[in-house]
Amino acid sequence: MNDEELERLLNDLESDRVERKASISSKDKICKAICAFANDFPNHKQPGVVFVGINDNGTCANLSIDDKLLITLASIRSDGNILPFPVLKVQKKTLKGCEIAVIFVEPSENTPVRYDGRAWIRVGPTTRQATAQEERLLNEKRRSKDLPFDLQPISYATLDDLDLDLFRRIYLPSALPIDVLEQNERSIEQQLVSMRFATKESAEAPLRPTVLGLLVAGKDPCSFIPGAYIQFVRFDGPELNDPIKDQKEISGALSEMLQMLENIFRAHISIASDITADPIELQYPDYPLIALQQLARNAVLHRNYEGTNAPIKIYWFRDRIEMHNPGGPFGQVTRQNFGQGINDYRNPNLAGAMKNLGYVQRFGVGIPIAQRELAKNRNPLLEFVVEDTHILVIIGKNHE
């Protein structure tokens, strides 16, 4: 979009493709507008534009557009409040002699997009929450052939393969605000579609669970996604050919699987005391639980579910833990920049579900949190082996 088109939109005070904000003090309204433009309810199939530094009447607000402001606006994409992730870019522009920040928001093919659990749409020049009927229309806009693998339907699965009690009791309350749930009069089928847990391959076809639905609420996800489990092996030594002390295959719906894994971590972590610490005796586990949680959740989130039947492998040796994750770097993440703060999402809807369930507090910080906890616990820093088809994380033991 060139500057001439931007000026035309800027001058059109009635356009439903434009939002104007004098500053970022109204960040909540900016997020709602981004969500609405991503949903593209009027079906313009063109970007929506948020002008920051412009008053409602189109005059210049004389806002200082510095790097900090631009970074704050760009971070809206992946801070986890708008899900699935919107496609947007932020630029600094000078239009009609006024310095402004411009957010370009692409229409999503993965609607409805929600901000803080609510779907927002544009009606004329205003942003408002979508009704149940409008959400149904947003669901129907979805085009499965263009969607990521985690939203693809499994043609030989049925709704009977989903744990609907888990979906109602655990997932819905975590994904939607209480007031939305209280007003919700939709059928369970409509709720599953709205949460992307089920879809139709055609208008006449029956509802089928998606990969996402089976991973998060499936009764037996491995029946349909063979690699969707974690293999845990504890060796009595430093090598693969040493005797095995314990081994488990951890499977089930996402929340059940991660809870079982956490219980296993707790059972295997050893704690040593530092009696030289005066006056308080300090205790250091051989591995900090938080670091193991973050790395395991990262593996579940970023692994490749489509191109391999291999599980996530967690091998616990006498001197280290190795986590093997099927699937190499994805998108803008490369072997060269891995672990340097560059993020992308092979499974964007699974990422949203994990955020809803509380397994992700903020995207892109899993590895930094793990590194911080390891350093606090006197463990070595993480080692990474990044290949095209898998990633290996080596966690060194605290030997002190």
User: So what CATH class is 230-396?
Assistant: alpha beta
Give the Cα-Cα-Cα angle 159, 165, 170 (nearest 5 degrees).
115
| Contact of 44 with 17, CB cutoff 8 Å | yes
| pTM summary value | 0.81
- Architecture of the domain made up of 3-129: 2-Layer Sandwich (3.30)
DSSP type of residue 220: S
* Domain boundaries defined on the chain: 3-129, 143-219, 230-396
SS (H, E, C) 9-71: HHHCCCCCCEEEECCHHHHHHHHHHHHHHHHCCCCCCCCEEEEECECCCCCECCCCCCHHHHH
| CB-count burial class (<10 Å; 0-12, 13-18, 19+) for 291 | buried
pLDDT reported for residue 143: 62
Give the pLDDT confidence of 190-242 residue by residue, as tens digits: 999 999 999 987 778 899 999 999 999 999 999 999 999 999 999 999 999 99
Give the pLDDT confidence of 156-186 residue by residue, as tens digits: 999 999 999 999 999 999 998 888 887 777 8
